[in-house]
Amino acid sequence: MKVQVLMSTYNGERYLEPQLKSLFNQKDVDVCVLVRDDGSTDATIDILHAWSLSHDLTYYQGENLKPARSFMHLISQAGEADYYAFCDQDDVWDDDKLMMAINALKDHKEPALYMSATKIVDENLHYIETKPVNTYHTLENAMIKNEATGCTQVFNDALLKVMQRYTPSFIKMHDSWITRVTYAIGGFVYIDDHAYINYRQHGDNVLGYKEPKLKKLLGQLKEAFGDHVRIRQNIALELLQGYSDLITPEAMPLIKAFSDYPTNKASKRYLLHDPLLKTPYSNINKRIRLAIRLNKF
* Residues facing residue 33 across a β-bridge: 5, 57
Contacts of 197 (CB under 8 A, 6+ apart): 91, 92, 93, 94, 97, 116, 118, 119, 151, 152
For residue 34, give the H/E element and its range.
strand 30-37
Nearest-angstrom CA–CA distance, 76 and 86? 13
In this prediction the pTM is 0.92
User: Is residue 182 within 8 Å of 115, Cβ to Cβ?
Assistant: no
Tell me how far CA of residue 120 lies from CA of 126, 130, 153, 208, 233, in angstroms. 8, 6, 16, 10, 32
User: Is residue 81 within 8 Å of 32, Cβ to Cβ?
Assistant: yes
User: Is residue 211 within 8 Å of 122, Cβ to Cβ?
Assistant: no
Nearest-angstrom CA–CA distance, 29 and 204? 31
Bridge-based pairing state of the strands 57-61 and 30-37: parallel
pLDDT per residue as tens, the chain (297 positions)? 999 999 999 999 999 999 999 999 999 999 999 999 999 999 999 999 999 999 999 999 999 999 999 999 999 999 999 999 999 999 999 999 999 999 999 999 999 999 999 999 999 999 999 999 876 789 999 999 888 899 999 999 999 999 999 999 999 999 999 999 999 999 999 999 999 999 999 876 544 555 555 565 555 555 555 545 689 999 999 999 999 999 999 999 999 999 999 999 999 999 999 999 988 889 989 999 999 999 998
Nearest-angstrom CA–CA distance, 83 and 192? 17
For residue 67, give the H/E element and its range.
helix 66-77
Nearest-angstrom CA–CA distance, 203 and 208? 9
CA 159 to chain centre: 14
What residues does each domain of the chain span? 2-200, 213-293
**At residue 256, what are phi and psi to the nearest 5 degrees?**
-65, -40
One of 3.40.50.300, 3.40.50.2300, 2.60.40.10, 3.90.550.10 is the CATH number of 2-200, namely 3.90.550.10
